[in-house]
Structure formats: C-alpha cells, structure tokens
Amino acid sequence: MAEFSLYRRRIGAVRPSHLMFTSGVGSLVDLPNFSVLVKGLDDWQYKGSEDPERNSALITEPRLLAAVQRLLGKTVLELRPAPWLPGTDSHPNGEAARTGVPVVPFPGWMRCTACNLLARVDSKAFEFENDKPNKPHEARFFHECGKGNRKRLVVGARFVLACKDGHLDDFPYLEFVHQGAPCSVAAKPNLLMEDRGGNIGANVRIVCQRCKAERNIREAMGRRGRERLPHCRGRHPHLGTFTGCQEQPHVLVVGASNQWFAQTLSALALPKAGGSELDAQVAKFWANLQHVNGPDMLPLVRSMPPLSFEFEKWGDEELWAAVERRRGEEAAGQDQEADEYPDLLTPEWEVFSSAHLPPPNDDFTAHRNPDEPVPPLLKSFYSDVLQVARLREVRAMTGFTRLDAPDQEDPKAVKRVPLARSRPTWVPASEVRGEGIFLRLPEDLLARWEAQAESSEALRLHKEAYGRFREYRHSARTGQPFNEETRYNHWPLPRYYALHTLSHLLIRTIALECGYNSASLAERIYAGTEDDPRTGILIYTAVPDAEGTLGGLVSLAEPDELVRLTRRALTEARSCSSDPLCAERLPREPEDFLHGAACHVCLFVSETTCERGNRFLDRRFVVPIDDPALALYRDLP
C-alpha cells in the first residue's frame, strides 16, 4: 500500500495465542464495528521477505513437527508463529502495519443500523472507512441513507449457516424470503432486516421492498427449520472454495461458541530420557542438521550461527554420531499409522519418571529434593515430586472443526477442516515458557485402588455413560447404526479418573491459596495404557505472559507447602456447597455426561486448563464422600 494512501489494511490486533485457540484460521473474529474471517494459510504472507525469520524466528520442536507430519503429511516442514514486525504504532503506514494475518469481512451480508437495509458487502450499497492511523479498531462500514447528514453504522447480518462437515456460508436471505423462487417484481430486490427483539428467541423479520414478501427468521430455526433450508453448498470461505456437500446446514448466530473449535497438538520441549546434553542439542537444532549427509559437511555447518557456538564442546566425530542416532530414531518412528494422534506423552513420562534427570538447559530444568524427594507426611500419597523450574511448551494448529469439538482420542470422529487449499508446508504454532510441579503416585496404591473400584457400580455407570456418549455423537453425525464393537474404544483407564480428579483439586487449591489464576495453569495427565500404566500429574503455567514464571509455582513443591496444599485440597474435596446433589450424581441411563460427583463449585476448571473438557471427574474416587472403599485417599496427610 502506498505511503500516502488514506485507507489502511490494519483493522485490529490479537495475541498470537488468540490465533491458536480462540480465533484462528477459518474462525470469525468480532471487531468493534463488524466481524471478519481469518483466511487460510495460502493467503498468509510474511511481508518484506520470503524468509519468515525476518519477522520472527521459526519455532523449533522436532518431536512436535514429526507428530504434525504424521497427521498432515511430510509436506509440513516448519512451525511458524504469527507474522509480525515491530513499529506498527510509530509507523502506521509502514511495512509493519502491512504485516499480519489476512482477514475478509464475514458474513457477506450487512445491515444499516438506521434504515435496516440488508445488502451484500460487495453490492456497493455501503462504504468503508479506516482513516485513523493509530485507531485501526475504529474501522467501519457506513451507509449514507438520507436519515440526517451522518454516516450511519453498518453491521454484519448476524446469521450464518454451518454444517457438521465444517462448511460455513452466508444465510440465503434472498432465497429464504422468496420461498426459494426469484422475486416476482424485480431482478435486484431490496431487502430489509427488522430486529423486533422480545423474549421469544430470534424475532427477526426479512422483508423484500419490491414484492413485499416477508418471512421471520424463526422459520429457519430448530430441526423443522433446517428442513426448510437448502442443502449445504460445501463452502469454505477461508479457502475460497465450494466443494459440494449434501449435509443439512444449521443456523448459527455470529459469535456462537460452536462455530469454530481449534484442533491442536502440544509437546513439552524435553531432552530424551537418559540422553546426553549433545543429543538434546542435536534434537533442538535438527532442522539445521537433518540435511547433513556426512561428517565432511560438519565444518561448513559449524561456521553458520547459531551452530558456530552451540556445538563448541564436541568434536566432529561425536557430533556426527549424535546426528546418526537422531536419524535412526526418526526412521523408527515412521511406522506409526497416519491420521492417528501421535503419542506425545510417552517421551515426557520417560523423562519425568527417570531416576536420572537430564542436564538443565534453556528449555527444561528440573530437580528433586536431594535429601528427601517426598515429605514424610506424604510418603503414602506420592512416590516422587519434581520441581520443574523451567519448561517450554510448543503448540501447533493442525485444523479445526465446526458444531462439535474434536475428539482427542478418536480424530476421525469429527471431520477436520483443512487449513489450506493444498497440502501445507507449514502450520501456525506458538510457544510459552513457564514452570511446574510433577507428582508421581505410588503404583501399588493405584493398583490396589483399581482392583477395588473396577467391580463397583459407580465405575460401571461411568463406563456405560461413555458408551452412550460415543453412540450419540456417532449417530448424530453419520445417521448410521453404531458399531457396538467399538462402544468402549478410547475409554481411559479407571486410574485416569483418580489422577484427573486429584489434578483438578490441586489446581483449584493453588488458584485459591497462592494467587494464581486457574486459567493460567494447565495439566498433563500420565495414565498410560493397560499394558503400560503410569501414575503422573504435571501442573504447570502455560500462558504467554509473565505470570507464574518466576518461581511462584515451583516454590509450592517445597515440603511444608506441598503438605499444606495437599491437606487442604483433600479436605475441601469431601464436601461441596452443591451437596447432596453433587455428591450423589452418577451418569445413569439415559444420561451421557462424563462426570460424577463434580460441578463448577468443587472440580470444574476453565477449558484452557483441563485437557479433557471437564470430563472423567468424580470426587468419590479420591476422597470418601459416600462409599469409603472407592476413595484413593481415605485419610488426610
């Protein structure tokens, strides 16, 4: 855009993490005066250079990149942060202001707030202004409709269509108001949208000024309303494509929470368990080293920063041996079935459960209390405690879904919408640094508890509810009979209920007692499989700001603090202000919710904190609230 141009492309700003979890590719972003849709990766540009490193360094995490490649294909070569350049505020017409994430106004229909005119944004009925250098958020569409001398604000028409295959489209106002036929008076009818409000839900009347036809949007709502709508056109507006689709669309209000769900993978940047510092460095810089074909190329590689000083401590022979080991590990990982969620937790569990922790580095530093890892009062509660003073989590976006959230265990259960028209060569990613506490429970304790709980009615009801949950989700999408043989596929181990519930209790206690916002914390549960059971919980800070990165969380793993926090968490879990309703809750037929004695008062946390959407929780499996035999911990520390 020329330096003298009156209008500017920049219309707002969001955090990089916002583009990953709240409003990423294919989602609607609500701006103060209108809404926009984030375009696909084909349209993203890193202005000023083909090399994204000019804007921000590539994010390196080989383990996560390999996992993304297994889902999306070997064409994915990079994890990139959002494009950004400094200097936006000081030079509003400069290169920085023209570097960002591309968006397009959506919905494509807009309404004048003064005269109620309803028209497409490309119909030239409305105009656009964005002429305030330091106030891009005041960009707006306006209409000079003759009602006074003012430019009347134009807003997006608030209804769109979406289907379970992930398509999104404008509401067909012309076809809807004319019952699928053309206007009987004019080839280009004028429409009005009158919002009458009231307490009866959607009460919006669409009127054709030419033929006087009118219809209320209520007629398109609900199951019967969907039958009156045309079939989905298979539109992906973020890609600019129409793929064809026979699904029946649903009417959504702009801003509805189910119009977009991010599908992401995350991994902690950890060195290999038992690996050397050299192996950790090779993994970190594998993007630079993977193309080295022989030891004779190492002098050239060493001459390029940052490798020129990262490998000073090792000779060429040692470095080449480490490169060969890394290459062999990658070849061994190629056998995993494609389009299945990669196992990112096993390498992390191996590090956390190892008797010998890896040497500290910029991405990961952890230590045990050398004298006594577990406080004496907690010997029967935990078998190991790690203070993770430094960690880095990398998150990559692999796609998104509409109408229903993706299934973590069964990625094929919900259709994933692609991020680009062709196979992408990179995916959006973000990284956060923080700290955490790792708690390992005694295996014999959990084994005894599982033997007791597996025959209980409570666990039976939980498992049956999971089967109904899978059946309802499957039938609603496919309309086909459910395969009974797969009813309990991906059901977690019983110990997952206990570990997950204990994690939530500790997170809520930390948030209440130590000043951490629970939304700034995250969890990773290491429960494993029947063949490889595990007993770990990691609670860590995972927000892109400074909260919780200066030792505040790590200090809670000190013996006295950990005893006090554990005692308080288990004490408060025994009662809930929603009892007896909460304490007596179990998912009985025909209910399909996946929690028992759990609610917003005692166990639920924010969606960004819980790895399973507040499912698989039940206080009765941790503390005695009805049957003491079901409690993992019957006594307080």
Successive 10-residue mean pLDDT values, the chain, 637 residues: 46 79 88 90 69 59 88 89 76 72 91 89 86 77 78 89 91 88 80 74 82 87 84 92 88 88 90 68 73 78 69 77 75 52 86 88 87 90 93 92 80 84 91 91 94 92 91 66 76 93 95 77 90 92 61 86 94 93 92 92 90 93 91 88
pLDDT for res 479: 57
Contacts with 410 (C-beta within 8 Å, 6 or more apart), sequence order? 489, 490
Instruction: Assess contact for 249 and 169: CB atoms under 8 A.
Output: yes
**Cis link prior to 590 (omega < 30° from 0)?**
yes
- Its pTM stands at 0.85
d(CA 397, CA 357): 30
* Buried residues in 511-540 as b, exposed as e (16+ CB within 10 A): beeeebebebbbbbbbbbeeeeebbbbbbb
Name the DSSP letter for residue 45.
-
Name the DSSP letter for residue 500.
H
**Residue 563 CB: number of other CB atoms within 10 A?**
16
- Residue at 448: amino acid letter: R
Contacts with 246 (C-beta within 8 Å, 6 or more apart), sequence order? 231, 232
d(CA 276, CA 283): 11
Closest among 347, 265, 346, 267 to 533, alpha carbons compared? 346
The DSSP code sequence of 428-455 is: EEEEEEEEEEEEE--HHHHHHHHHHHTT
pLDDT for res 603: 95
Contacts with 615 (C-beta within 8 Å, 6 or more apart), sequence order? 594, 595
Element housing 323 (H / E): helix 316-332
pLDDT for res 544: 62
- Residue at 541: amino acid letter: T
Name the DSSP letter for residue 124.
S
pLDDT for res 334: 53
DSSP collapsed to 3 states, 238-304: CCCEECCCCCCCEEEECCCCCCCEEEEEEEECCCCCCCCHHHHHHHHCHHHHCCCCCHHHHHHHHCC
Name the DSSP letter for residue 360.
P
Q: Quick one: tokens of 375?
A: 């406080």
Q: Quick one: tokens of 625?
A: 């609230």
- Residue 12: is it exposed, middle or buried by C-beta count within 10 angstroms (0-12/13-18/19+)? middle
Name the DSSP letter for residue 526.
E
d(CA 387, CA 370): 11
